Amino acid sequence: MRAGDILESIKPVVGQSKYVAINRKNLKKVCAEFKSNDSKSWLTESPFELSRLKDDQRLNFIFVFDSVNFCYWGQPKWTINYRGENYDGAWGMMGSIKKALDRGLPILKADYLSSLKKKDLALIWKGNIPIPLFFRRWAILRENGRILQKKYQGQFLEVIRKSNKDALSLLSLITADFPSFNDRATFKGKKVLFYKRAQLAVADIYRCFKGRGWGNLKNIGQLTAAADYKIPQVLRKLGILKYSPELAGKIDSQVQILPGSEEEIEIRANMIWAIEQIKEELKKKIPQVTSMEIDSYLWLLGQNKSPDDKPYHLTRTIYY
């Protein structure tokens, strides 16, 4: 993976988009109001503390979590209860893993994952309803467990060690060796790279270790935003992303957008491109700001829901 590969692949999508556009005026307005202390990490804002885990366990936790951290939407939304509190989405997934650890289940161990039984996983993810894409998630955990055993002595830290603590090299290893992380699409015959969960895993390692030890990763600033469904919703609310009437109608009516469709690819590509433009604007006052910091800020902003919020786009996919 070279610096700029992802941006080079999405640039033609942005240039040929017919369903999504970026409003530069509103983008600059948002940047003018942005303060340096607004940049928080979603991981440190999580209600679950990972610092009590040993380093290898924390790394395996991040790997397991980001392996299955996708597609939580539905009516009703999958929700779990952990120590008297209800959690959904990404925090629901973290809570499920924590609950499994509390029960003494070795869910962070590759040999356990590689032979994980469906009934055991159903108990781990037990909530108000079955989690969406249960069978895909189950298959991914088993596959990733087997790959960790076969190639990396069952430890995700060995993947980091092989990367020589280089964020781009680590991204390449994750997307090459673990197929479910290989998040790419084809737009008008051209390859488009997103690597949402793989980039998130690399960023989470950096954040979890505060840029030290296993988190001391070179080229961390070369990561782009992680293209999902929540951040486009926030960018639309801020007036930065504008949808065509046809696409806006589908999203607002909660009509599913097909994975790999031009509409879906344009949403994700323009989201990444908009955050790159935000970054360049913010660098005038915050020189060290990164795309992943802006990504995290916007994701957290999206947790502050209001009754007049428009829906996010709905796509059934393992990639986000």
Q: Which of 66, 88, 183, 228 is catalytic?
A: 228
CA distance 105 to 58: 15
CA distance 42 to 244: 30
The C-alpha angle 195, 200, 203, rounded to 5 degrees, equals 125
262 within 8 A of 187, measured Cβ to Cβ: yes
Q: Is 120 a catalytic residue?
A: no
63 within 8 A of 50, measured Cβ to Cβ: no
Buried (b) or exposed (e) across 260-297, using 16+ Cβ within 10 A?
Answer: bebbbbbbbbbbbbbbbbbbebbeeebeebbbbbbbbb
Closest-CA residue to 47 (of 108, 1, 92, 107): 92
The C-alpha angle 229, 135, 145, rounded to 5 degrees, equals 95
Residues recognised as catalytic: 228
